């Protein structure tokens, strides 16, 4: 069995993730997200999707980017007709 790097649980279904030259073992996707997923520069929530980036910061949504003073980002692009 392997021990989770986040919670310390010794679990027989743990998995290993490699990112940016680092490697860690986790017992759940939730524990992996706590260690790996970036945090929104405004509200601090973990960003599990693509997020929005501007000025070297990453945000969970356009609302947070606007609250932080970045007014160019939008959550959705207009749909093209076709």
* pLDDT per residue as tens, the chain (82 positions): 899 999 999 999 999 999 999 999 999 999 999 999 999 999 999 999 989 999 999 999 999 999 999 988 888 777 777 6
Q: Identify the pLDDT of residue 76.
A: 77
17 and 49 assigned to the same domain: no
Cα separation, 10 vs 59, whole angstroms: 33
Residues 43 and 29 in one domain: no
Residues 26 and 66 in one domain: no
CA distances from 41 to 69, 74, 78 (A): 11, 16, 25
If asked whether residues 25 and 44 sit together in one domain, one would say no
In terms of residue numbers, what domain contains 60? 37-82
Q: Collapsing DSSP states into helix, strand and coil, what is residue 11?
A: strand
**Nearest Cα residue to 4 out of 29, 25, 34:** 25
As a whole number of angstroms, the distance between CA 33 and CA 22 comes to 14
The number of domains in the chain is 2
Same domain, 55 and 43: yes
Q: Is the Cβ–Cβ distance between 64 and 43 less than 8 Å?
A: yes
| Residue-level pLDDT at 47 | 97
Q: Based on the domain organization, do 31 and 42 belong to the same domain?
A: no
């Amino acid at each position: 069995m392997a021990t989770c790097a986040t919670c310390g649980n010794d679990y027989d279904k743990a998995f290993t993730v490699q990112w940016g030259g680092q490697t860690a073992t986790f017992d759940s996707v939730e524990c992996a997200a706590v260690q790996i997923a970036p945090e929104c520069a405004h509200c601090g929530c973990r960003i599990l999707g693509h997020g929005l980036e501007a000025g070297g910061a990453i945000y969970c949504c356009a609302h947070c980017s606007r609250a932080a003073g970045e007014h160019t980002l939008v959550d959705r692009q207009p749909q093209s007709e076709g």
